[in-house]
Amino acid sequence: MSGSGRADASTSRPGRPCVTELRLSAFGVHRGAGFPLGPLSLLCGPSGSGKSSALRAYEALARLGGGAELGEVFPAPADCVPERARPDAQRRRGFRIGCTADGPEGPVRLDVAVQAEPHLRIVGERLTAGGRTLLQTALRDPARRAVQAAWHTAGSSLVTRAPLPDDRLGTALLPLRVAGRTDGQRQVLAAAEQMVVALRSVFVCDPLPRGMRTDVPLGAGRLLRGCDNLAEVLWRTRSECGRRHGLLVDAARAGCAGPVYDVLAEPGPDGAGAGGTVRALLDRGDGLRTPLGRLGNGELRYLALALVLLTGPGVLAVDPAGEVPAALQTLTVLVDGFDRDLDARQREGLVRLAARMCERGHIRLVGAVSDASWAAGLDGVTVVDLGP
């Protein structure tokens, strides 16, 4: 593992809650693995080294932190079990993942043990901060669809015990169960809320060029995971924020072939009214407008990722913590195949743009690349090598 400059997660405590370490104790190809994460992190390694698995684990923790049920998060849980894991006498196999969220409360650790077979359930969870266990759950009775939970109280009783469902993250449920009457309870609430806020705002992005080449119907104007509604989002954002749109045009000028004077959307043949469509174009400045359908895959992925970095939760299809002010939240973008189809100029330009945006603290990015040697030494980049 290597890092450089400001991206070292240990240099300072962030003002906004954010995930600074991902732990894969037993998940897919990973055993006993821990990955430090800076504002801009690139996971690198050969095929089969577990880059995609690491991003899947991060996304899973984010969805659990948002209150999703276990079955929604892991539709094929057996695929997450380490290949050489053998079932015990009760035919049970599972996996373990976790993370650390830093913020105003200091580092808070979350570790989750999931039973994948024969029944999918959370069998153990631990939330710790400052060397103290704030929440711990354990499966006591396999016949019941519940775990026994104990959380720190530090009042007339040191801990409070109660059953919690075995298909949801206990940490996400604590704000509904803890009254906050004692110092201990308030510490538990603060740590749980920091973890949930750090996990909640995640946008998983994998731009698919084939979907960006066609006219798209007008809708909510929120960018989807595959960025196939890029034209619809451009139709909205070009008029909403001139400064950010100007930055997108600058990025397009640097990463697309030929002159670029604007990036815009225009109504399709059936108009942009109810039921109408729009198409995205590059304005070449001499009366010529190039439909995005004519661009190469690398140009399209580059434009889509630049748009993601220059917008925010209000434009991306994410579920931020609505009860927390936006100024206290950090959006994390997960991108598998970050450098896919990009040439060297596009790749480095996109990383430099990401580093500038991540430096401000309101956005973080974790991307997977096959080789990160080109990023070594770039200011603001943490490189995590998953290779042997």
CA distances from 10 to 7, 41, 189 (A): 9, 14, 24
Pick the last residue of a domain from 270, 293, 317.
Answer: 317
Bridge partners of residue 359, in order along the sequence: none
Pick the last residue of a domain from 147, 175, 201.
Answer: 201
Q: What's the distance, Cα to Cα, between the start and end of the chain in Å?
A: 11
Mapped onto helix, strand or coil, the DSSP state of residue 305 is helix
Q: For residues 295 and 183, state if they share a domain.
A: no
The total of structural domains in the chain comes to: 2
In a domain? residue 388: no
In a domain? residue 383: no
Q: For residues 157 and 194, state if they share a domain.
A: yes
Question: In terms of residue numbers, what domain contains 118?
Answer: 2-201
Pick the last residue of a domain from 179, 201, 223.
Answer: 201
pLDDT at 346: 96
Q: For residues 182 and 231, state if they share a domain.
A: no
Q: For residues 162 and 299, state if they share a domain.
A: no
pLDDT at 4: 38
How many CA atoms, within 13 angstroms, populate the side-chain half-sphere of residue 252? 27
pLDDT at 6: 34
Q: For residues 197 and 217, state if they share a domain.
A: no
- Distance separating alpha carbons of residues 129 and 105, to the nearest angstrom: 8
Q: For residues 177 and 261, state if they share a domain.
A: no
In a domain? residue 38: yes
pLDDT tens digit at each of 388 positions of the chain = 444 333 344 445 667 899 999 999 999 999 999 999 999 999 999 999 999 999 999 999 999 999 999 999 999 999 999 988 888 888 899 999 999 999 999 999 999 999 999 999 999 999 999 999 999 999 988 888 999 999 988 766 788 899 999 999 999 999 888 888 888 899 999 999 999 999 988 999 999 999 899 899 888 888 999 999 999 999 888 888 888 899 999 999 999 999 999 999 998 777 656 668 999 999 999 889 999 999 999 999 999 999 999 987 778 877 666 555 555 678 999 999 999 999 999 999 999 999 999 998 889 999 999 999 999 888 999 999 998 7
